[in-house]
Structure 1
Amino acid sequence: MKRFKLGLVSRLLMAIVLGICAGFILPGPIIRIAVTFSGLFSKYLAFIIPLMIIGFIVTGIADLTQGAGKLLGITTVIAYGSTILAGTLAYIMASTVFPHIIDSNTLAKIGDPEKGMLKPFFEISLPPLLDVTSAVVFSFLMGLSISWLKSQKNDYGETIYNLFSDFSIIIVKVLSTSIIPVLPFYIFGTFANMAHSGGVFTIMSVFIKVFLCVLTLHIIYLIILFIISGAIGKKNPLQLLKHQIPGYLTALGTQSSAATIPVNVECAKNNGVSEEIRDFVVPLCATIHMAGSIITITSCVTAVLMINNMPHSLSTMFPFIMTLGIAMVAAPGAPGGAIMSALPFLGMVGIISTGSLGTMLIALYITQDSFGTAANVSGDNAIAVIIDTIYHRYIKKEDNATS
């Protein structure tokens, strides 16, 4: 008989529910045990974050600057542009709609979310090996340098690339064995503390409304993408959307862009995308096109900033969105996906990634991660239609004329 195994979403939902119940029922000293564990885990997470940046971004940049020349460049620009556009639209939606959801009365009820929270029994100092900014700069320099060495057919380039590629595998293993499995306990402690302080239900009611807005924007953005791709490719957008349904549903079930690639390639085939393009664009965009995820993260981050009366202007959010579009290139290779890749950069908008607000974002993002993933992979096939059209109308003709 197969052993029954709860998925990550189910475990996180249970952790949230049990944490809230424990916060109301259990005495303060018992809750402080869970809070102490969460505090220790947050230190460990802060230690791992710079290593995550190095492990993922170095090889990500080295990979993205190698490949099929013009086609790779065009696909990367369109995918990044779509991701940034999605994040910007999410901010516009959030800044327009959320003030009606998060009004002054709601803010007054929430007050300071961390006020009244219990402190851990003890803390342990575990400073990271280097800070986030240093990790980002180092990763970009190494990624670009490795790409240049490989383009020079230098054996050292391949050796260094393999070193960082293996390091990336180690980081993924660390995440899958000592971060992701422990997240429910971490989140349990945080929500127990929030419930004990008395503000959990008001905060949760806000985020339910936020997610309804997010899911609506996912659908609207996909419709826009397929209308554009249909216009460029001279195809019926409704047929393109219909053919994408199996890929969308598969992503909902697997919560993985990578696991959905075979089904998504078949969807691209049904949309009339040529074999050479679908076999190239769909796997590539599964790595670099994160429109659904950035919609969710941008919306949630804006909501958190509003709840805490923190600055959330476009000048604050847009650099974060631009950076996130690059950082999330690593997301499909990491358990926990986009939100784990976004953690190191929450400080750009004033959120401490290992604090209670960062924990809340992790929990609330992962519990609906499947919808973001489904939007990501569906958008990949809209891009595939565009790239296929560009390839056959311009690039292939140009190459044939040259030869």
Structure 2
Amino acid sequence: MSLIIKLIAGILGGILAGLYLPLGLTELLYTAKVIIGQLISFTIPLIILFFIASGIAGLPKTSGHLLGKTVGFAYSSTVIAGTLAVLLVLFATGFFEGSIVYEAAKGAELKGYIQLEIPPIMSVMTALAAAFIFGIGISQLNLGQLKDVVDQGRDVIDALLAKVIIPALPFYIAGVFAEMAVAGTVVDTLSTFGVVLVAAVGMHWLWLTTLFIVTGLMLKRSPLELVKNMLPAYFTAIGTMSSAATIPVSLRASKANGVSEEVANFSVPLCATIHLSGSTITIVTCAMAVMFLSPTMAIPSLLEMLPFIFMLGVVMIAAPGAPGGAVMSALGLLTSMLGFDESAIALMIALYLAQDSFGTACNVTGDGVIALWVNRFSEKAE
């Protein structure tokens, strides 16, 4: 929760700086935003390369039938959740009408004191292809030393995110909102923020309701009973903002729902890494909201968003465990597939982090459903 408080402080500080500080001081904040933005852009391909390669290489090779079912159900859940989010946002496009502009107007642009460029060492798609090649190769050929390299690379990037980039995000966001305050567009943007956040959390609950009703019908059990058993995991995730930290509670909740020991011990920890339906809902919702807000982006259709959703389901494997890890992993797709610029990325990060705990709670609660499905179809196969 401290990150959210810092984020709010960054938004308020940026607005006040843009409105009341001399332009020269505001441009100091803008300079910090530019530098942090360059570091983020440089890090995106490395996140994808090391986290996806490490994730694929680390998938358990035993219990093949459980692995296939868990991965299949988790990916399907993520893709369907993202697709439904697109449909609901398109249905509610009236909330975003009005051509709200979040970019600085001409004549009101801030300039940084330092012109710094840190080009990424590879493109996003190159990183994604390399991650799959090395991840699958390491797994199939049992290359222990190379696995250690990608694991250590993942640890380095994870430390960079946790100790540098994530703590610097409030300053990055402050620079963005200072720029909007100077341009006079901050009020309209903030009013839309509230609508988007409420919509994202509402979609989480709608998705979980759908999952538990379908699961209850399939298992011929009360959905309310299943939800009740998963509530401790939901509220724990809100507090921890981490799927991994909630695993012990999720395991107890899944077993209370009747999932066998073997399935629960396998599927729940794995889903904490690969099943991020709540995060996907938020990313899709926030991305479309930012595109609606932008004067330079066209409103995407479902067909235009589907490739992004399919790729997002894959990239979510790379999501670091730190708060905001999912959106950091998705930045590469946002820039390469949806055409997000630096201002759009900053708004995306701010929107996502404001509800990160609820997205994590949706992920964790959905993990319990995946475990129930795997348990059901494993019993049927036997």
TM-score range, shorter chain: over 0.9
1:100 maps to 2:94:
yes
Q: 2:317 is matched with which residue?
A: 329
User: Alignment partner for residue 230 of structure 1, among 185, 206, 216?
Assistant: 216
Give the percent of matched residue pairs that are identical in Structure 1 and Structure 2. Answer: 42
Q: 1:72 is matched with which residue?
A: 67
- Matches of 2:374 and 2:365, distance apart in 1: 15
Q: Tell me if structure 2 keeps the 8 A contact 1:86–1:294.
A: yes
1:301 maps to 2:293:
no
User: Alignment partner for residue 113 of structure 1, among 90, 103, 118?
Assistant: 103
Alpha-carbon shift at residue 91 of structure 1 (Å): 0.3
- Matches of 2:102 and 2:275, distance apart in 1: 36
Alpha-carbon shift at residue 335 of structure 1 (Å): 4.2
- Matches of 1:111 and 1:367, distance apart in 2: 21
1:128 maps to 2:120:
yes
Q: Tell me if structure 1 keeps the 8 A contact 2:242–2:322.
A: no
- Matches of 2:9 and 2:117, distance apart in 1: 30
1:40 maps to 2:29:
no
Alpha-carbon shift at residue 112 of structure 1 (Å): 5.8
- Structure 1: where are the runs of 5+ without partners? 1-5, 151-156, 398-403
Q: Tell me if structure 1 keeps the 8 A contact 2:323–2:356.
A: no
1:259 maps to 2:277:
no
Alpha-carbon shift at residue 121 of structure 1 (Å): 2.1
Alpha-carbon shift at residue 334 of structure 1 (Å): 4.1
- 1:351 alignment partner AA: F
Q: 1:386 is matched with which residue?
A: 373
Alpha-carbon shift at residue 315 of structure 1 (Å): 2.7
- Matches of 1:8 and 1:289, distance apart in 2: 23
- Matches of 2:308 and 2:203, distance apart in 1: 19
Q: Tell me if structure 1 keeps the 8 A contact 2:241–2:323.
A: no
Q: How does 1:345-384 map to 2 (within 5 A)?
A: 345-347=333-335, 348-352=337-341, 355-384=342-371
Alpha-carbon shift at residue 330 of structure 1 (Å): 2.0
Q: 1:313 is matched with which residue?
A: 301
Q: How does 1:174-253 map to 2 (within 5 A)?
A: 174-253=160-239
Matched residue SS, 1:273: coil
Matched residue SS, 1:209: helix
- 2:264 alignment partner AA: R
Matched residue SS, 1:130: coil
Moved more, 356-365 or 304-313: 304-313
Moved more, 182-191 or 330-339: 330-339
Matched residue SS, 2:115: coil
Q: Tell me if structure 2 keeps the 8 A contact 1:290–1:376.
A: yes
Alpha-carbon shift at residue 117 of structure 1 (Å): 3.0
- Matches of 1:117 and 1:240, distance apart in 2: 53
- Matches of 1:221 and 1:335, distance apart in 2: 22
User: Alignment partner for residue 344 of structure 1, among 332, 339, 344?
Assistant: 332
Matched residue SS, 1:351: coil
Q: Tell me if structure 1 keeps the 8 A contact 2:320–2:329.
A: no
1:147 maps to 2:139:
yes
Alpha-carbon shift at residue 269 of structure 1 (Å): 1.6
Q: Deviations over 1:103-145 (max 9, x none)?
A: 2xx21xx246232331212212221212222111111111111
1:18 maps to 2:3:
no
Alpha-carbon shift at residue 12 of structure 1 (Å): 0.8
- Matches of 1:217 and 1:300, distance apart in 2: 12
Matched residue SS, 1:113: coil
Q: 1:83 is matched with which residue?
A: 78
Matched residue SS, 1:333: coil
TM-score in terms of structure 1 length: 0.91
- 1:381 alignment partner AA: G
> Is the alpha carbon distance of 1:235 and 1:332 closer, same or farther for their aligned partners in structure 2, counting shifts above 3 Å?
farther
Q: Number of residue pairs matched?
A: 377
Matched residue SS, 1:349: coil
> Is the alpha carbon distance of 1:132 and 1:172 closer, same or farther for their aligned partners in structure 2, counting shifts above 3 Å?
same
- Matches of 2:59 and 2:215, distance apart in 1: 23
TM-score in terms of structure 2 length: 0.95
Q: Tell me if structure 2 keeps the 8 A contact 1:258–1:332.
A: no
Q: Deviations over 1:370-401 (max 9, x none)?
A: 0000000000001111111111222xx2xxxx
Alpha-carbon shift at residue 54 of structure 1 (Å): 1.2
1:60 maps to 2:55:
yes
- 1:132 alignment partner AA: V
Q: Tell me if structure 1 keeps the 8 A contact 2:158–2:320.
A: no
Moved more, 59-68 or 14-23: 59-68
Alpha-carbon shift at residue 244 of structure 1 (Å): 1.1
Matched residue SS, 2:112: coil
Q: Tell me if structure 2 keeps the 8 A contact 1:316–1:349.
A: no
Matched residue SS, 1:128: coil
Q: Tell me if structure 2 keeps the 8 A contact 1:292–1:373.
A: yes
- Matches of 2:104 and 2:255, distance apart in 1: 51
- Matches of 1:174 and 1:124, distance apart in 2: 19
Alpha-carbon shift at residue 174 of structure 1 (Å): 1.1
Query: If you compute each CA radius of gyration, which structure gives the higher value, 1 or 2?
Result: 1
Q: Deviations over 1:279-316 (max 9, x none)?
A: 11111111111111111110111111112252312232
